[in-house]
Structure 1
Amino acid sequence: MSDTPSSIRRSLFLHAPIRRGPRVVLRQMLELVDDDTPPDGPDGPVAVLERGLAHLLGKQAALFFPSGTMAQQVALRVHADRRGRRAFAAHPQSHLDVWEEQGYNAVHGLWLRRTGDPHELMTAGDLAAAAGEPLAAAVWELPQRDLGGLLPEWAELCEQVGLVRATGAAAHLDGARLWEAQTYYRRPFDEIAALFDTVYVSLYKSLQGVRGAVLAADTETVQAAQVWRQRLGGGIRDAWPLALAALVHLDTLAERMPAYREHAIAIAAAINADGAARAHPDPPQTPMFHIHLPAPKRAVERAGAELLAEHGIQLWGRVRTVPDPSRCSFEVSVGENAMEFTPDEVAALLRDLLTRAGPD
């Protein structure tokens, strides 16, 4: 049975279609507009969103982009052109490198200095070594998705940013999941963002919008980014539906996030106490963590399809391989979907899943 809204009744997966169908999203958007809402201009949804995020992040200006891929590449391009340097540092698991076909190089002529161990957080020592080559910028992904939502401690993050800035390089925040990170740091968003020259946030991850991104920075940087957005075809007209979908949760997400984090901690604790599977980190630092399973990917996917067909329960968006072919993992990002599952229920579902997986 396919993973369609009709087949999925409940899901641990944050972006399951049960809360993202067109009718659901459109009803939410309609509650924010009336007959006098303009599609564009200073009172249109895009401008309202840009001002709202600039204020939240304590930046002079913010700019809408149709994708985070474009927003982050543009930020790095502006930093590189301004400094006359073409290299930037980022963790080996950076989204910019792993998921974007090295667009930073193919489109902008930049190159990446992979910094740190692929399976551990980037350290000040890693960045000091990378700074042996003049850098245009360094990128921090907070939290580090492919490491299970890990974050450096606040003092260490400040040390790392200070080290990079001392070399004349810019500090850029991949804040696609900044709302999750804030639940751990427990500092105002503008205090976190103040560490960085440029900050990117996703409109469809934590905010559960449709698509799109916003880049926040000082006015001069945003003006330069706007030129590159136009050159890359991102200055689209009638972007108001994407902005409006993000505005649905902008004012309410932060107040719900601590509960999501506490529920993630409780689920992870139940999984680890049960022992059939393993949750990492233990405990989670954010509402995000990984579940590691002692069974191969193909067998787990088959078992998951059975659970979905029999009970309408979806456990993941995708299953990931790991170096050990007898094991695999998947990501949990706690939001409204996962709040419908008790911690013990999740542990029991995983035990059922592994029983079904059996020998591949």
Structure 2
Amino acid sequence: MKKLKQTFSLLALMAALLALCSGATAEEAPAYGDLTGDGEISAADAAAMLRGIAFQQLSEEARPDLDFTKNGTIDATDARAALFYACGGIEDMVAFGERVSGGLCPERLFDRFCYTGVRDDGSGNYRSENVAVSITRGRFQTSNYTLADLYLQDISYLTTAFSNGTFGGGTNTVKKMFESVPDAVLALNGDFYSLHVYGPVIRNGVVYVDRVNRTWDIALLLTNGELVTYDDRTLTKEALLQMEVYQSWVFGPALLDAEWHAKEKFRSAVQPVNPRSVLGYYEPGHYAFLAVDGRAKKSKGLTMQELSQLCEELGFSRAYNLDGGQSSVLLAKNGVINHPVRNGRPISDIIAVRDPQPG
């Protein structure tokens, strides 16, 4: 009997110890993203992550909470995200992971965006978790230019608008069309499609004209975010129908070759010095609006070859010339941010950046 009591006592003691250990384990379970055990995500966690990555001591299976970008692996980008959070750049790390993993931009570009609200100066500089725009100005050859660097997490944020809200709706100012786009941030004149309507005309995924012009260079923005350009006589209707096209433009020319270098020859009637508008492309999610001032004493404009050289210098992988001259207008909420000839002219369409807001 005495031996049985001792056995029960021992079992009771073991149960108590097990309960105590289980409680301690629960209390010591690491907080989300906390690698150093201080209860929060800090710069020390970022440093510890880099060490763990370097020595292959971290795995997504063991610590899935450290995969902040939700790409299935823990890497240096996650360490950067931890440091960004520690510095106050991210409010909600879980929401951050959902946004970055589901966005158009590569995750390495996450720090281009703002995760603590919206920053908007009204003059084109804009940052939210969905859209980032920065405006810079420069000079090339004899001309001044304005460059809008665009980062977009959804292809629908690069939209187009027709004059008076309809295909074949005549002409209007860039400002009027900009005001018709909900949550618009920035706008650039388009290809003035109504002057020729050669085709294809595809805007915001809607096909208005499906024929393919054979004598003009063509640009297509695909739903996967890629911008592709075609020299004259290279795109066929059959090929067009096989692609998921979100936007199309027919003006040109395409300004860079397949190796991203400046071209020397163009099929274009507007090669002499002029004001210019360009849609630039780096990679899916990363684009640019470029406006070159011209027909002024301090800014003459660029030839097509000079414009091509500027696009290479700016690092575009593809670039497409849009309608220029007096049509060239780059506009933000506070007004025009380039220097259009005689304040611009009425045109038929624009390309705009928008950032839809909740509610």
Question: Which is greater in Rg?
Answer: 2
* Structure that is richer in helix per residue: 1
Query: Relative contact order: is structure 1 or structure 2 higher (C-alpha 8 Å, sep ≥ 6)?
Result: 1
TM-score range, shorter chain: under 0.3
Tell me the TM-score normalised to structure 2 length: 0.27
Tell me the TM-score normalised to structure 1 length: 0.27
* Structure that is richer in strand per residue: 2
